[in-house]
Amino acid sequence: MTDKQLFDELVSKGIIDGTLAEKIIREAELANAPAEELLYERARVDEEAVGKVKSALLKAPYKKIDPQAIPEEVLRIIPKDISENYRVIPLEKNKDMLIVGMLRPDNLRAQEALKFIAKRERLSLGVYIVTPSALADVWRRYEPYKDEIAAAIKEMNLRPGAGSRIVALEEGVRTAEDAPVIKLVASTLRHAVDSKASDIHIEPQHNYLRVRFRIDGELSEVASLPPVLSQPVISRIKVLAELRLDETRIPQDGRFRTEIGGREIDFRIATFPTPSGEKAAIRVLDAVAGLKNLNDLGLNRHDYGIINEALAAPYGMILISGPTGSGKSTTLYAMMQKLNSEKVNVVSLEDPVEYFMPGINQSQVKPEIGYTFASGLRQILRQDPDVVMVGEIRDGETASLAVNAALTGHIMLSTIHTNNSIGVIPRLIDLGVPPFLISSAVNVMLAQRLVGRLCEKCKFAEDAGPGMEKNIGEAIGSLPESERKEIEDKFGKAPHKIYHAGGKPDCPVCRGKWGRRSLCWALIYLPRALISQA
């Protein structure tokens, strides 16, 4: 069963619309990810309905399961890493048969893995189709991350106040025996991806090694490890990123790619020396979670229209402003993805390249050898580009070159550090761009922030009070007729409900919020007098 066959059937049965199907399939090809899993990430669909469609296409029965009813001894037949990699779970064991649930029974790699397990256990196989939610519910029954850490530490025979058993890697470098440390690091990386973390921080403290994840913009501690593990864990990460093990005095940067959960994930590493030992910050670059289409960013109709119009223009700049971590890079990648086609030459200059995009010529600056945004931009303009993306305008030379490129027939995309849209103008002037060029070169100035989405499973509502109703009424009343009608059709008229984060302890999804969306302020026109006086 191909993705197209599945999606065509979903469209014919009215489960999804044709536009969404085409968008998901294109995005899956770009991200080299399973289209079905992207569908669940990008849209709210009836998983059971999708499962029944697959059942008809693959001639395999669909089963709705109770995760708590699976016996522990059955759960242990298929290890968690195999279960996650191949999207397969054990359901029951009947005499000489193992019954399993699969997301895609036609996955040949999963079939081979199951045949090996069945042969080892001397069992035949029975297969049901299950939903992604069923898979996730069963995975929660496996040992959690902290239990995996405890098992790895136990395997290393560590005792409070004692050192670890050590083997020499290179002169002056020692680490705990490989296998447990490898498991520990692999478990941490896998747990970060499962948690949708954007960053991992591994930080040696005075009396322990702290592991923190940044999820939806907030850092939280996920594990505390014995201090003797600091050097072994950091060394393992440096090995993966091909960094120098014998250099601990200066920061080092690197990256590596590995497969987790059936898809390729990039990890960008930056080490940093501290008095307690080397610290590592790891950026998790998951193309499925990180690469988005423009209409997946949460833009309102007004801002979406402004950006689309600017992207369709023959030339001009689109500048995105906002603090670090406000989603500027995600928006830039979404714009490049929209412009990317065989008829358009898209060239980017980045520091660093975060996501590799087929069809786009991406280059990473290296200031230490003189390859900067400014020098790179000069070379890009000799590459016959239609669209140029510069990761950040940091200095006057880059700003001047970018403005000139925008005025000579190129679409120029970039970011600039200001607090709001209007602040882009004085910032460009401060960088030496003549005021009279700004209105001619800049098509859109976009300020951006990220806000949390309420968890759909545990959010709760209360009636809006009189004061809030008045504010809502004034805000809706100020909108154009078409947008006002759209809001009233979606949310109804007064009285309105106000939703709050739940964060119930038993919520299987979150702590009140799950994911983020962007809030944007797009500015496209200012009187020339204001620009000249800014």
Q: Domain map of the chain by residue range? A: 3-139, 145-287, 291-459+501-533
Residue type, 320: I
Cβ-based neighbours of 390, under 8 Å, separated by 6 or more: 348, 349, 373, 377, 398, 402, 412, 413, 414
pLDDT higher at 29 or 78? 78
The helix (H) or strand (E) run that includes residue 289 is helix 287-290
Summarised one tens digit per residue, pLDDT across range 375-410 is 999 999 899 999 999 999 989 999 999 999 999 999
Q: What is the mean pLDDT of residues 297-318?
A: 88
Buried b (16+ CB within 10 A) or exposed e, 148-178: bbeebbeebebeeeeebeeeeeeeeeebbee
pLDDT of 70 > 70? The answer is: yes
Summarised one tens digit per residue, pLDDT across range 157-177 is 654 333 333 333 233 333 334
Question: Of the candidates 248, 70, 286, which has an alpha carbon nearest to the alpha carbon of residue 170?
Answer: 248
User: In this predicted structure, what is the pLDDT of residue 166?
Assistant: 34
pLDDT of 527 > 60? The answer is: no
Summarised one tens digit per residue, pLDDT across range 336-355 is 999 999 999 999 999 888 88
HSE-up (13 A, CA, CB side) for residue 373: 22
Q: Of the CATH numbers 3.30.450.20, 3.30.450.90, 3.40.50.150, 3.40.50.920, which one belongs to the domain with range 145-287? A: 3.30.450.90
Question: Of the candidates 42, 45, 15, which has an alpha carbon nearest to the alpha carbon of residue 296?
Answer: 42
- Mean pLDDT, the chain, whole residue set: 83
What pTM value is reported for the model?
A: 0.67
Token look-up 């280059």 returns: 363
The pLDDT > 70 percentage for the chain reads: 90
The pLDDT-based confidence of 497 (bands split at 50, 70, 90) is confident
The pLDDT-based confidence of 253 (bands split at 50, 70, 90) is very high
> Quick one: CA dihedral 137, 141, 147, 148, positive or negative?
negative
Looking at domain 3-139, does it have CATH number 3.40.50.720? Answer: no
Domain 291-459+501-533 in the same topology as domain 3-139: no
User: In this predicted structure, what is the pLDDT of residue 525?
Assistant: 56
User: In this predicted structure, what is the pLDDT of residue 244?
Assistant: 93
The pLDDT-based confidence of 143 (bands split at 50, 70, 90) is low
Rounded CA-CA distance 273/278 in Å is 4
In angstroms and rounded to an integer, the radius of gyration of the C-alpha atoms of the chain is 26
The string of DSSP letters for 47-64 reads HHHHHHHHHHHHT--B--
User: In this predicted structure, what is the pLDDT of residue 173?
Assistant: 35
User: In this predicted structure, what is the pLDDT of residue 363?
Assistant: 94
Token look-up 């029944």 returns: 52
- Taking CA atoms, 410 is separated from 58, 314, 361, 381, 460, in Å, by 49, 7, 15, 9, 48
The pLDDT > 90 percentage for the chain reads: 30
User: In this predicted structure, what is the pLDDT of residue 511?
Assistant: 62
Lowest mean pLDDT among 136-140, 265-269, 359-363, 428-432: 136-140
Superfamily, domain 291-459+501-533: P-loop containing nucleotide triphosphate hydrolases (3.40.50.300)
User: In this predicted structure, what is the pLDDT of residue 6?
Assistant: 87
